Amino acid sequence: MRWSKSCIPTFKEDPSEAEIPSHKLMLRSGLIRKLTSGVYTFLPMGYRTVRKIEKIVREEMNAIGCQEVLMPILHPTEIYEESGRLETFGPELFKLKDSRDRTFALGPTHEEVITMIARDDMRSYRSLPQCLYQILSKFRDEIRPRYGVIRAREFIMKDAYSFHVDDESLDETYRKMEGAYRRIIERCGLEYCIVEADSGYIGGEESHEFMVLAGNGESTILSSTCGYAVNQEQAVAKEDPDRRVGENSGDPYIELSTPGMATIDEVSGFLKVEPYALVKTLLYRTGEKTAALLIPGDREINDIKLVNASGDPDIRFLTPDEIVKATGAPVGFSGPVGLPEEIEIIADPLIEAYESMIVGANKKDAHLKGVVQGRDFRIDRYEDLVWAKEGDLCPKCGEPLGMSRGVEVGHIFKLGDKYSASMDATFIDEKGEMHPFIMGCYGFGISRMAAAAIEQHHDDDGIVWPASITPMDLLILPVNVNNEEVLETAFRLERELEERGIDVLVDDRDQSPGVKFKDADLTGIPLRVTIGRKLKEGKVELFHRATREIEEIPVEKVLDVILEKIER
């Protein structure tokens, strides 16, 4: 392939719209172009990498016995009414109307479609288990599309769905899928970890995410030396179980004057206590009800947990006026003591460690000290509500958790009968009885993977492609294309390598060496043969992009040396 006649539009400056290296580099090296927010074209070089990732994914799916299918993108919205997901998807579902005014959605994922197939066409236990997969564009109207193809509104996903007679059979496929995902990411040459995850709106019982480690990843991972790792979204905050906060001297609580001090920092600074000696009381409205949430002063509410605990995606913080109405005091002075009966008091389990606490007094400019739960106020129930953080203890080994970041490339779920029960998809067992299928689903972000690879493998000069997913195996760089011998050597080598199935790009542009070398670094092809002045002495240079190592090689040996370096 010749650069001069290819659509590989590179540019020097960082695009202002891009925040992280992979997004900048994908634009600069001509892998992708934006059509509109969250919608991208993969140009030839970008699409080559996508195809290589797809090939690896297909091979690993086929190797564990999955069957490839192709489902429609256009879905009648009735199927989401049937599964109950029309609401849970909410605004992320792209909707459109046909000419007869019927509503359709662009598929964000395919649980409903595949469950209908199983319902009609996998009736007997004898045909189970089965696992079907596809590679297809998905559509989600993400609230904040960003980072290029990492969080896009149209993106390529591999999604697989498995159907089983029981949980054991699901467990077996789930484990095989985990193995296949590990091999996919390893074959792509990336470092990763597997974390316990929140199931989000896909739902179900258990799920794991596959994170490609990268400093700019959107996901935060808490992990321990014992091998345990969890998505921070999902992690339960755990302190030393022997930790006791405050002390209960048996004395009644006292009121303290805290004029104008409405934040934890202000109050703890003023009282010269640690922020966690205070307990925050946060007032939320769900439907017609108000709930007071109690959490340690040094912790924050995790909205995902809050929505899960309340079952209300519209749950919201009370407005300042509503707070005054509910507690009698302005924002910053709420507390659990003396709240009206109808306000439910929900506490994070960390509150159990408090023998006494400092709380707002439900009175302007006042806090209460020495407040004892049970004695001075009631707790209606405990719910896991707060963000876990670095230094919290591992639930498995008890050691402090470390923090790292990653890009989620895969997510596997045990769905159980979530879809089969609501959509009445059953199989007939050996006794002739009907049961809902036990299901699993397994997503892998193909287009996101291309960006994740760059996020993990780049340097100041550009991309450093892992050999297995590079758009091209080798770049031949004739320095001066006006020198006939140089150009002929380049084209001969190109032909010989292409005949052997190697993907070769020749930079035959009549550009300055400076431009060509910069572009070569930027586009990150792992191996480069530079054909320049040394050709007179019968030598060319072999350059390794990852290590920047240069070898001088006699021109007659270069074919063999390259073939040896590029395993096929």
Q: Catalog residues that contact ligand ATP under the rule CB under 6 A.
A: 109, 140, 142, 151-152, 155, 157, 200, 202, 408-411, 443, 445, 447-448
Q: What CA–CA distance (Å, rounded) separates 14 from 193?
A: 30
26's enclosing H/E stretch is: helix 21-28
* Number of Cβ within a 10 Å radius of residue 500: 13
Closest C-alpha to 164, from 125, 199, 132, 134:
125
CB-based contact 85:109 (threshold 8 Å):
no
Spatial separation of the C-alpha atoms in residues 106 and 512, rounded to whole Å: 47
Pairing label, strands 474-478, 504-506 = parallel
Q: Which three-class secondary structure string do you get for 267-287?
A: HHHHHCCCHHHEEEEEEEEEC
Helix-, strand-, coil-residue percentages of the chain, each rounded to 5: 30, 30, 40
Instruction: Give the nearest distance from C-beta 209 to ligand ATP in angstroms.
Output: 7
Nearest residue (CB) to ligand ATP, 107 versus 246: 107
Question: If DSSP codes are grouped into helix, strand and coil, which group holds residue 563?
Answer: helix
Which residue, 159 or 376, has its beta carbon nearer to ligand ATP? 159
H helix runs in 188-235, sequence order: none
Q: Would you say 89 or 333 has its CB closer to ligand ATP?
A: 89
What's the closest the beta carbon of residue 2 comes to ligand ATP, in angstroms?
Answer: 32
Distance (Å, whole) CA 172 – CA 128: 13
Q: Which is nearer to ligand ATP, 152 or 184 (CB)?
A: 152
Q: How far is the CB of 21 from ligand ATP (least distance, A)?
A: 17
Considering the complex, what minimum distance in angstroms separates the CB of residue 210 from ligand ATP? 7
Q: Is 501 left (phi over 0), alpha (psi -120 to 50) or beta?
A: left
Rounded to whole angstroms, the Cα distance separating 34 from 40 reads 4
Q: Which is nearer to ligand ATP, 115 or 258 (CB)?
A: 115
Q: How far is the CB of 208 from ligand ATP (least distance, A)?
A: 11
- Residue (of 5, 109, 8) closest to 49 by Cα position: 8
| Cβ 402 to ligand ATP shortest distance, Å | 22
Residue placing its CB nearer to ligand ATP in the complex, 200 or 275: 200
Give the residue with the Cβ less far from ligand ATP, 202 or 439. Answer: 202
Is 215 or 513 the residue whose CB approaches ligand ATP more closely? 215
The minimum distance between CB 200 and ligand ATP, in angstroms, equals: 5
d(Cα 477, Cα 513) in Å, to the nearest integer? 9
Closest approach of ligand ATP to the CB of residue 49, in Å: 15
Q: For ligand ATP, which is the closer residue by CB, 146 or 544?
A: 146
Nearer to ligand ATP, 38 or 436 (CB): 38
Residue among 116 and 157 whose Cβ is closer to ligand ATP: 157
**Chain position whose Cβ is nearest to ligand ATP:** 445
Contact 150, 27 (CB under 8 A): no
135 versus 423: smaller Cβ distance to ligand ATP: 135
> Nearest approach, Cβ of 182 to ligand ATP (angstroms)?
15
As to burial, measured by CB atoms within 10 angstroms (0-12 exposed, 13-18 middle, 19+ buried), residue 117 is middle
Q: For the CB of residue 92, give the shortest distance to ligand ATP in the complex, in Å.
A: 8
Interstrand relation of 458-459 and 462-463 (parallel, antiparallel or unpaired): antiparallel
Which residue has 């009175």 as its token pair? 363
Min CB(231)–ligand ATP separation in Å: 9
- What minimum distance in Å lies between the beta carbon of 525 and ligand ATP? 25
Beta-sheet strand order (sheet of 549-554): 504-506, 474-478, 527-531, 539-544, 549-554
Which helix or strand (DSSP H or E) is residue 541 part of? strand 539-544
From the list 352, 328, 348, 346, the residue with the least C-alpha distance to 338 is 328
* Measured distance CA(288)–CA(276) in Å, rounded: 31
CB of 138 to ligand ATP, least distance (A): 7
**Strand pairing category for 474-478 and 39-42:** unpaired
Distance CA 520, CA 528 (A): 8
What 3-state DSSP class applies to 435? strand
Please, are residues 236 and 304 in contact by the beta-carbon 8 Å criterion? no
- By the 8 A CB rule, do 480 and 486 touch? yes
Shortest Å, Cβ 3 to ligand ATP: 29
Angle between helices 44-63 and 167-187 in degrees, nearest 10? 140
Query: Distance between CA 56 and CA 47 in Å, rounded?
Result: 14
Q: Residue 151 or 299: which CB sits closer to ligand ATP?
A: 151
* Between 48 and 411, CB nearer to ligand ATP: 411
